[in-house]
Structure 1
Amino acid sequence: MNAVEIEQAITDLAEQPFDAANFPYDFLEAFGNKATTIKRLRAGASNKSDLGGVLQTNNIHILTCDAGQVSKALKALKDSPATTKAKAKFILATDGTDFEAEDLTSGETVACAFRDFPDHFGFFLPLAGISTVRQITENAFDIRATSRLNRLYVELLKDNPEWGTDERRHDMNHFMARLIFCFFAEDTGIFGGKGKFTETVAQMSARDSSNTHEVISTLFLAMNTRREQRAVANLPRWASSDVFPYVNGGLFSGSMEVPKFSKIARSYLLHVGGLDWTKINPDIFGSMIQAVADDEERGALGMHYTSVPNILKVLNPLFLDDLRAKLEEAGDNPRMLLNLRKRMAKIRVFDPACGSGNFLVIAYKEMRAIEAEINKRRGEPDMRSAIPLTNFRGIELRDFPAEIARLALIIAEYQCDVLYRGQKLALADFLPLSNENWITCGNALRLDWLSLYPPTGTGVKLQGDDLFGTPLDQTEIDFENAGGETYICGNPPYKGSQEQTPSQKTDLDTAFRGRIKSTKSADYVAGWFILARDYIAKSDAACAFVTTNSINQGRQVSLIWPTILTDDIEIRFARPSFPWSNLASKKAVVTVSIVGLGRRSNRPKLVFTQNTVKEAKYIGPYLVPDQSAIVLPSTSSLSPLSEMTYGSMPNDNGGLILSSDDAHSLVETYPQAQRFVKRLLGSNGTIHGQWRYCLWISTADLDAALAIEPIRKRIEIVKNHRARSTRVTTKALAATPHLFGEVRHSDSQALAVPCHSAEGRPYLPFALVDGDTVIDNSAIRLSEPRMYEVALYASRLHIIWIATVCGQLETRYRYSNTLGWNTFPVPTLTEKNKDDLTRCAENILLAREHHFPATIADLYDPDKMPDDLRAAHDRNDEVLERIYIGRRFKNDTERLEKLFDLYTKMTASTAPSKGKKRTARTRA
C-alpha cells in the first residue's frame, strides 16, 4: 500500500463506530498487513501481548481500554516486558474517544481525539515499511487532499462517463482545477468568509444532489462576472460579489458546464472542502494531484513526489547559491541590495518538462525569500514583489499538469505575499488573476525553445483566450528582458532505448537533427540535453537536469556527449549517481545523476558527493573531476590480462540443454552417456547456484553419442531447429547439430562473470569453475585466470570502473568484456604484488567455501554478508589500492580519478598512428 491508500484506509476506520475488540486488527490491516498475518494474530499464534492487547513483533503494541484510561494504558504498554522483548517500535492506546501513541525509537508522541488520529497517519508509516516519514508528515495535508480529490474524481466519472473521454478530458481537468482554486480561496480569505464555497454548495444544493451541478455552475459564473455586470447576469443573492469576487484570469472563463453529482459525489466534495486548505504546499501538491487525472498513474497516486531537498540539489548550484552569496556580500549596502533585486527581477527559470511545476514553484519561493530579505534590509518590507510570476516558464506535454503548474504558481505567489507582506496587501493585489499564459502545453522535443522563450528581446507573441485555454495557446507577454539571465532546469522523463515508443524515437531524431550516427540507443532524456545545449550556445543561459545516471555511463557517453560538449559548452557542476526514491512502500529506487551545463568559463567546476564538494578545472562526461577521456571498447586488453570472451551459445531450441533431473535420468539409464554430459552455468546460475547440464560432444565422438537414443533425438531437435531458421549462419549450423552454435569452451579452469547483476551488492559476482563446466552465453568467460586477476576482478576498484564505463540497466550492472575488462587500467605489477594479490583472492575463495552451500546472492547480500568474507574483500581492496597509490582511496571519486588518469596515459602510449582509429577521445 502507498501513503495515499493508507491515509484513506485509516480515515475510513476513524469514521466507523468504535469496536474495541477489532480495532487493533483493523488498524494493522489499514497499514497493509496481509489477511494471513491478521489471522495469526487473532488466533494468538503471533500475538505476544502480556496486557490483553495485540503485540506484533518488531512493530507495534496496541491496547484498547475503558473510557478515561488511555494515558494509564499507554504507560502500561511502555512498561510492559513484552513490548521490550518483542522490540516493538510503537505503542498505541485508545478508548474510542481519546487516542495516544508513542514512537519508542524517537520518543515522539501523538495525543488527539480518536476521530482526528488520521491527521497523524504519517507518524505510523514505518509500520508499512515506508521510511520517508518526515517528508510525508510535513506534507500530510497534500496526501489527504490528493486522496479526497481522487475519490471525488473517480465518483464523478462513474455518473459522467463522457467526461472521461478524450473529447471531454480537458473539460474535466479544467473543472478540477477550478475546484482546487475554490477550496484554497475559501480558506485563505480570498472569498468573503472561511469555508464559504463549501458552505454555499451544502446549503443551496439539495441533499439528493439533483441540483449540485447547477449551484457550482452558478458560483463559477459569478467568479467570471465583474461586479458591475452582475445585475445583468441575473445572479442570485447567495452568489454575491461580496463573497465570491471576480476571479477570471481564464480560470473561470469559457463553458460553465459542471458534471452531475451523485449523493456520494456531493458528500465527497463537502469532505474535500472540509479540509484546511491553508496547509497546501503547491510545490508538492501539484505533483501528487496530476496523477488524479491520469489513468496510468492513478495506481501510484501521491507517489509522483520530488522532495524539496532533491529539487534544491539542482537549483542551488545552478543559480540560488550565487544569489545568496551576493546577498551576503551586499550586507546592508542599499545600492548593492537594489542592484541584486533588479537582477533577480530579470531572472527567468525555464523547465521544459515541468509537469505540475515543482521546480518552478520551489525556484519562485526561494527567490521570494531572498527578495524579502533584501526588502527588509532596505527598510521596504511592504514593497510589492519585483519578481514577475511569468518569469517562471515551462513546457508540459499533458494539459492537466500544465494547468496545475499555473495554479500552483498562482497559489505560491499569494502565499509568499501573505508571508512577506501580510494578508491585507496580499488580498489587495491578488484578484483579478492575470490573463498571461506562461506555461506552454506541447512536446518539448519538437518545439523551438528559443522562439517560445527568447533569452533577450521581444519574443513571439501568440494570442490565447485565457490562462487555462486551449493547449499551445499563449497570450501576449512582454518578453523584454535585456540583460536578464535564463536558467533551464527540471526532471525530464526517463525512458531507455528499449522503453521508447515509435513517437518518442521520432522525438529524439527531431531534437538531434542528425548530429549523432543514430538515436536508437540514446536515452530519452538526451533530447533535453541537446536542446538545452543549443539554447545555451545562442545565449548566456545555464541548465541543470536530473537524469538517469546511464547517460553518463557506458556506450551513452561516446554516443551523446561529444555532440553536447561543443561550442564552448562545459559541465559546470555534477552530482554523480545517487538514489532518487518516491514515497511508496517497497519503493523502486531509481539511480540518478544531476548534470549542470553552461558556457565555458574559468570558474571552478563542482562535483558534489554525499557530504563533500570537490572543485575541478573541468568535469568529464563520466562526471569525474578533471578527467575527460571517453572510454571506447577494445578488442584486446590494455593491461597484460587474460582474455575474456562471452560464453558458448547453444542455439539449440533446448535440444542440448538438460535439467538436473534429465541429466541424472540419462546417465542412470545410459551410463555410457556420462562422458557427453557437462555442467552448464550462466549468469543466473552463477548468482543463485542453479545448475543445469548440457550435451558436450566432440565430432570425433559423434557416432558413439548417436548410438544413445535420447541423445540422438535431442540432436535431431537441434538440427531441425537450425534448418528451419531464416538466418543463413544458423542454417549452416544445421550441419553440426551436436555442437553449440558458438563454441568458446576449453577443458581448463575459468571465471564465470554474469553479464548483468544487481547493483546493491558491494562486489561483482563470479564463480571459479573447472573444465567440466561449460559457461553459456548469458555470462562472460575469463579463460585460465591467474589468481591475482581474480583479486583484480573482485575489487572495489573494478566494480566502480564497471559501473561507470559499462553502465547500468535499470538497477543492474552491465558487464562488458571489451568495454570493462579490456579497458581496466592496471599498473605494472611486481612479482610481490602478484603474490600478495594471489593470497587475497585465495582468502576470498576460502571464506566463501566456509559458508557452503550459501549462494553468491546469499553471501553478497549487503545486509547479510558474512564478516569473514567482508574482511577478506576489504583486505584485498587495501592491498590493491596501496599498489595503485600507496594508501587506501578516500572515496569512489578518488578511485575513478586515478583509474581515468591511468587509462588516459595507457591509451596515449598505445595510440595508433595518424589516420587510424583511436581507442579513446580526450579533452583538447
Structure 2
Amino acid sequence: MNAVEIESAVSDLALQPFDATEFPFAFLAAFGNKDTTLKRLRTGNNNASDVASGVLLRNNIHLAVCAAGAVGDTLKALRASPATTKAKAKFILATDGQTLEAEELASGETIASSFADFPNHFGFLLPLAGISTIREIKDNPIDVRATGRLNKLYVELLRENPAWATDERRSDMNHFMARLVFCFFAEDTDIFNGKGLFTQTVDQMSASDGSNTHEVLSEIFRAMNIKVANRVTEHPRLPNWANGFPYVNGGLFSGSTEVPRFTRMARTYLLHAGALSWREINPDIFGSMIQAVADDEERGALGMHYTSVPNILKVLNPLILDDLRTALDEAGDNERKLLNLRKRMARIRVFDPACGSGNFLVIAYKQMREIEAEINRRRGELHLGSEIPLTNFRGIELRNFPTEIARLALIIAEFQCDVLYRGQKDALAEFLPLDAQNWIVCGNALRLDWLSICPPTGSGVKVKADDLFQTPLDQAEIDFENEGGETYICGNPPYKGATEQNMLQKSDMQAIFGETFPVWKSFDYILGFFQKARYFLNHCDASFAFVTTNSICQGEQVYRFWPQCISDGVRISFAVTSFKWSNLASKNAGVSVCIVGLARNPRAIRYFDDEGAIVRNVANINAYLVPYKDVYVKNETNPINGMAPVVNGNKPADGGGLIFDASVAADLKMAAPGYAHVIRPFYGAHDATHGAGRYCIWAAEPDYHALRDVPAYQRRFDMVAEMRGNSGKALTKAGLDSPYAFQQIRQVGTEIVFQIPRHSSESREYYPIISLPEGSIVGDGAFSFYNPPLWNVAIFVSRLSLVWTGAVCGKIKTDFRFSNTLGWNTFQIPLLTEQNKADLTRCAEDILLAREAHFPATIAELYDPDSMPDNLRHAHERNDEVLERIYIGRRFKNDTERLEKLFELYSKLTTAEKAKPAAKATKGRKKTA
C-alpha cells in the first residue's frame, strides 16, 4: 500500500463504530497486513502478547484495547512488556475508543489524540507499512490527505466523463483540477471573503445527486473571471450567490468555464476534499504528489512522488543559499551591506529546466524570502513588501498539468510567505487579482532555447501573457529588467539510461550531441541537460547543479562525455556523494544518486558527504567525484598492473543443447558410460553465487565422432546445429560444423577456476569471487580467473578493489557491474615484495577456509551484510589491513581516501607511459660496393 491508500483506510476506520474486539485487526489491515497474517493473529497462533486484550505483530507493533480511561496505564504496560522487547516491536499503541496514544520505541516520540482525530497522525505510523516517515508528512499530513481526496474525485469524474480523459480534453480536465485546488486553498485562507465559501456554496446550491454541480461550479468560475465593477452589465448576469466570489483571473479562470458532469459520489468527494484544512498545504511537497493524480501511469504510485526538503537543500545550499547566508552573517547589522544583499537577491534567478510541479523553485523562493525577512528585521523594515519577484523562479516542464501545478505552488508559496513575514492583512491586500505573467514554460527542455527562457541580462523578447495558465509554448520572457543578476540552474532531470530512452528521447539526444559526440547513443538522457547547461555557461556567468544517477560519473560515460564539459575554466564546483533519493513507496529503498555542481572559475570547490555536510574544501573534484585532479580511466585489453588476467566465460550459443540440469546429465552418463568425462559442471551468471549449478557437454572432436551415434547425445547436437543454422550472425553460423563445442572457448577445462559474477549487490561489502569444483566450466554471463596466484585473489576481494570497480566500471541500477578491461586491468598496486605476496596469499587462504567452515552456505548467504559470519568478516578485515598497509602504511580512513590513492597511482603510471620517448628505428649500415 502507498501513503494515500493508508491514509484513506485509517480515515475510514476512524469513522466506523468502535469495535473493541475487531479494532486491532482492522488497524493492522489499514497498514497493509495480509489476511493470512491477521488470521493467524486472530487464532492466537502468532499472537505473543502478554498484555490483556493485546495483539502483538513481530517486528511491527504491540497494541491493546482497554477500558475507558485506562489508555495511559495500558501504554505503560505495553512499554514494560517483555513480549514487546522480545518481538522487537517498533511501536506500541493503546486506545479505549475515545482516546488513542502511541509511541515509537526507538525515538521515544509519542502521539495522543481523540480517537476520531487519530487519522491526522497517520504519518507518524507510516513505518508500520514499511514506509520511512518523513518529517513533513509526520508534522503535517494534509498533503497526503488532500492528494487522496482529489484522486478519488478525479477518477470518478473521468468515469462519468470519458471524453475528458482523451488527449483532446485532458488539458481541460487538468485545468479544472488546478482551479479546484486554488478554490480550496483560497476559502481557507481568507482570500475568499468568508471561510468555507466555495465548499459551502457548492453544498447549498447543488443537488445532492450531483446533477447540477457542474452548473454551480461553472458560475463560480465565471464570477472569478469578471471584475466586480463589470458584473452589473455582464450578460448573462451572475446569480446572487456567485457574486460573493472575488475577481481572480490571472488566466486561472479565463477561457472556457465548462465543467465535467458530477455524480452523487463525485459531489461527495468534492465536499470531503473541501472539508480539509487547506490553509496548511505545504507547496514544497504537495505539488509533486498531486501531479500523479493526472497521470495514468503514475497514479498507481500515488502519494509517493515526494522529494524531501532536506534532499533538495543538498542541491540549493551549496549552489546558492550557503553563499547568501554567509553574506548575511558578514553583513551583521550594517545597513548598507544588508541593503546591498537585498538588492542582490532581487536580481537572482533560479531556473529549473525539468521543474515538474516546482519543488526546487518553491523551496528556493521560500528560503530566499526567509533571508530577506531577516534583512528587513535587522534594518527595522518589517513593513516592506518583498523585492524578490516570483517571476525570477523560472522553469520548464514537459507535461501540462505539472506546469500548472508549479505555477500554482509558487503562488501559494508567495502568499504564505507574505502572511508569515508581513501579516494576513497586507498579504490579502496585494494577492488578487493574480498576475498574468508567465514564468513556467510547458515544453521539451532539450528542444527549447534556455537563453531565451532565462536570458542572462533581462533583454530580449518581452511578451506579456494573456493567460497565466494556458500560454503558448513560445511564451518565454517577462517584462522586467534584471541587468547584472545571477542565474542558478538546478533540478532533478529525468535519468533514463541509453536502453530506456524512447524514440523521441533519442531524437532529443541526437539534436543536442549530433556529430560532436559519435558515441552519444550510449549516454544517459540526463547528460542532455548537462550539455544544455554547459552551453548556457558559455554565454553567461551562471552556475548549475543537478541531481543525477551515479552512472554518469562511472564507467565509459566519464571519458566519453566529461573531458569537454570540464574545460575552458568550467569545473565541478561541488559534489555530494552517493545517497538514496527515496520516496514514500512502501519497502522502497530509493535510487542511488549524487549531486554535481559546475561553475566557471568557482571561488571554492567543496566536497560533501551523503548527508550534505561539507567534508572539506579541495583543490579539484574530478568527473568520478573524487577529490583529485582530472583523470580519465580508459579500457585496457590486458592488465597494466602485472596481475593475472580476468577473462570472460565461455559462450555456448547452443539453443539449449549443450546446457542442462542434473537429471539430463545423469541420463547422458548412462547412455555413454565411457564418456562421462565430457559432462562437466557448468556455472552461469548467478549459479555459483546462489549455490546452484547446471551441467554441460564439454567435448573434443574425437568425443563428438564417438557420441553422435548415441541418440541422447545426437538429439542435443541437433538442437545446437538447428539454432546455429537459423542464426543471422556469421560467427554463430560458423559453429554449425562443430555442434559439440561452445562457440567461444576461453578455458581448457583442467584449470583451477575462480568465477567472478558480472554483477553484485550494492549491499555487499566485498565483491564475491567463487572457487569452483575441479573441471568446472564458466558461462559467458560471468568472468573467470584461471590458475591465479592466490595473492591476486586477495587483492580482488579487497575493499580497495571494490571501490575502484564501483567508481570506474559503473553500476547496473544500484548494483556493482564488473568490467575486466575497465576495472581489473586498470587497477593499480604498489611494487610488491615476495613477503607482501606471501602475506596476501595467507589472507586469501584464510578467507577461503572461513567460507569452507560454513559449508553448505552459499556466497549470497555468506556475504549478506546482516548475517556475514564473524570469522569471514575478520578474515576480510585482516586482508584489507595487510593490503592497505602496503599502500600507505596504515588503513585508509574511508573510500574517498582509497580512491584518491588509486587515482594517484593510475595517473602516475599513465603519465609515465605518455612521457616515454617513442622507440627509434634502427638504421642499417649502408653496404659498400
SS in 1 for 2:306: coil
Letter in 2 for 1:908: T
1:795 to partner: Cα distance? 0.5
Distance in 2 between the 1:701 and 1:127 partners? 62
C-alpha distance 72-771 of structure 1, shift in aligned 2 (>3 A): closer
Distance in 1 between the 2:603 and 2:322 partners? 18
- Deviates further, 679-688 or 290-299: 679-688
The CA RMSD over aligned residues, in Å, is: 1.7
Distance in 1 between the 2:736 and 2:64 partners? 73
Q: Which residue of 1 aligns with 2:621?
A: 619
C-alpha distance 132-70 of structure 1, shift in aligned 2 (>3 A): closer
Q: Is the 8 A contact 2:607 2:614 kept in 1?
A: no
Could you report, residue by residue, the CA deviation over 1:289-347 in whole angstroms, capped at 9, with x for unpaired residues?
00000000001111111111110110111111011101111111111111111100000
Letter in 1 for 2:175: H
Q: Is the 8 A contact 2:622 2:629 kept in 1?
A: yes
Q: Which residue of 1 aligns with 2:655?
A: 653
Alignment partner for residue 905 of structure 1, among 894, 904, 908?
A: 908
Q: How does 1:297-308 map to 2 (within 5 A)?
A: 297-308=298-309
2:4 is the alignment partner of 1:9: no
Alignment partner for residue 697 of structure 1, among 687, 692, 699?
A: 699
2:332 is the alignment partner of 1:331: yes
Distance in 1 between the 2:476 and 2:170 partners? 23
Q: How does 1:842-921 map to 2 (within 5 A)?
A: 842-911=845-914
Letter in 2 for 1:401: P
Q: Which residue of 2 aligns with 1:396?
A: 397
Q: Is the 8 A contact 1:356 1:402 kept in 2?
A: yes
Q: Which residue of 2 aligns with 1:114?
A: 115
Letter in 1 for 2:742: F
1:669 to partner: Cα distance? 4.6
Q: Which residue of 1 aligns with 2:736?
A: 734
2:802 is the alignment partner of 1:810: no
Distance in 2 between the 1:670 and 1:19 partners? 72
Q: Is the 8 A contact 1:303 1:583 kept in 2?
A: yes
SS in 1 for 2:94: strand
Q: How does 1:738-887 map to 2 (within 5 A)?
A: 738-746=740-748, 747-887=750-890
Could you report, residue by residue, the CA deviation over 1:361-381 in whole angstroms, capped at 9, with x for unpaired residues?
000001001100111111101
Distance in 1 between the 2:705 and 2:511 partners? 59
1:416 to partner: Cα distance? 0.5
SS in 1 for 2:686: helix
Could you report, residue by residue, the CA deviation over 1:229-262 in whole angstroms, capped at 9, with x for unpaired residues?
111232222223xx42111111111111111111
Tell me how many residue pairs correspond in the alignment. 914
1:204 to partner: Cα distance? 1.3
Could you report, residue by residue, the CA deviation over 1:146-190 in whole angstroms, capped at 9, with x for unpaired residues?
111111111111111111111111111111111111111111111
C-alpha distance 476-535 of structure 1, shift in aligned 2 (>3 A): closer
Q: How does 1:129-140 map to 2 (within 5 A)?
A: 129-140=130-141
SS in 2 for 1:478: coil
Distance in 1 between the 2:141 and 2:872 partners? 44
1:86 to partner: Cα distance? 3.0
Q: Is the 8 A contact 1:607 1:623 kept in 2?
A: no
Q: Which residue of 1 aligns with 2:542?
A: 541
1:658 to partner: Cα distance? 1.7
Q: Is the 8 A contact 2:287 2:409 kept in 1?
A: yes
Q: Which residue of 2 aligns with 1:354?
A: 355
Give unpaired runs (5+ residues) of structure 2: 920-929
Could you report, residue by residue, the CA deviation over 1:419-473 in whole angstroms, capped at 9, with x for unpaired residues?
1111111111111110000000000001111122111141223453310014415
Q: Which residue of 2 aligns with 1:217?
A: 218
Alignment partner for residue 674 of structure 1, among 673, 676, 682?
A: 676
SS in 1 for 2:593: strand
Letter in 2 for 1:781: S
Distance in 2 between the 1:426 and 1:52 partners? 53
1:72 to partner: Cα distance? 4.0
Q: How does 1:690-729 map to 2 (within 5 A)?
A: 690-729=692-731
1:94 to partner: Cα distance? 2.4
1:667 to partner: Cα distance? 2.0
Q: Is the 8 A contact 1:681 1:691 kept in 2?
A: yes
Could you report, residue by residue, the CA deviation over 1:845-883 in whole angstroms, capped at 9, with x for unpaired residues?
111111111111101111111111111111111111111
Distance in 2 between the 1:846 and 1:775 partners? 23
Identity %: 61
Letter in 1 for 2:20: A
C-alpha distance 476-765 of structure 1, shift in aligned 2 (>3 A): closer
1:513 to partner: Cα distance? 3.4
1:564 to partner: Cα distance? 1.6
Distance in 1 between the 2:918 and 2:579 partners? 40
Q: Is the 8 A contact 1:402 1:440 kept in 2?
A: yes
1:83 to partner: Cα distance? 3.3
Q: Which residue of 1 aligns with 2:925?
A: none
C-alpha distance 686-462 of structure 1, shift in aligned 2 (>3 A): farther
Q: Is the 8 A contact 2:576 2:608 kept in 1?
A: yes
Q: Is the 8 A contact 1:666 1:673 kept in 2?
A: no
SS in 2 for 1:461: coil
Distance in 2 between the 1:519 and 1:851 partners? 48
Distance in 2 between the 1:264 and 1:176 partners? 17
Q: Which residue of 2 aligns with 1:520?
A: 521
Q: Which residue of 2 aligns with 1:921?
A: none
1:895 to partner: Cα distance? 0.5
Q: Is the 8 A contact 2:157 2:266 kept in 1?
A: yes
Q: How does 1:571-582 map to 2 (within 5 A)?
A: 571-582=572-583
Distance in 1 between the 2:655 and 2:84 partners? 58
Letter in 1 for 2:217: I
Distance in 1 between the 2:226 and 2:737 partners? 85
Distance in 2 between the 1:514 and 1:914 partners? 34
1:770 to partner: Cα distance? 4.7
Q: How does 1:333-482 map to 2 (within 5 A)?
A: 333-472=334-473, 474=475, 477-482=478-483
SS in 2 for 1:694: strand
TM-score by length of 1: 0.97
1:21 to partner: Cα distance? 1.9
Distance in 1 between the 2:440 and 2:80 partners? 58
Give unpaired runs (5+ residues) of structure 1: 917-924
Letter in 2 for 1:30: A
Letter in 2 for 1:353: A
Letter in 2 for 1:144: R
Letter in 2 for 1:633: N
SS in 1 for 2:72: helix
Q: Which residue of 1 aligns with 2:230?
A: 229
Distance in 2 between the 1:683 and 1:738 partners? 22
Q: Is the 8 A contact 1:791 1:837 kept in 2?
A: yes
Q: Which residue of 1 aligns with 2:21?
A: 21
Q: Which residue of 1 aligns with 2:297?
A: 296
SS in 1 for 2:167: coil
Q: Is the 8 A contact 2:526 2:548 kept in 1?
A: yes
TM-score by length of 2: 0.96
Q: Is the 8 A contact 1:572 1:605 kept in 2?
A: yes
Q: How does 1:207-286 map to 2 (within 5 A)?
A: 207-233=208-234, 234-240=237-243, 243-286=244-287
Q: Is the 8 A contact 1:646 1:780 kept in 2?
A: yes
Distance in 1 between the 2:61 and 2:604 partners? 54
Distance in 2 between the 1:552 and 1:914 partners? 32
Distance in 1 between the 2:793 and 2:866 partners? 24
Q: Which residue of 2 aligns with 1:489?
A: 490
Could you report, residue by residue, the CA deviation over 1:468-506 in whole angstroms, capped at 9, with x for unpaired residues?
014415376224211100000000001000100011011
Q: Which residue of 1 aligns with 2:46?
A: 46
Q: Is the 8 A contact 2:453 2:477 kept in 1?
A: no
Q: Is the 8 A contact 1:490 1:545 kept in 2?
A: yes
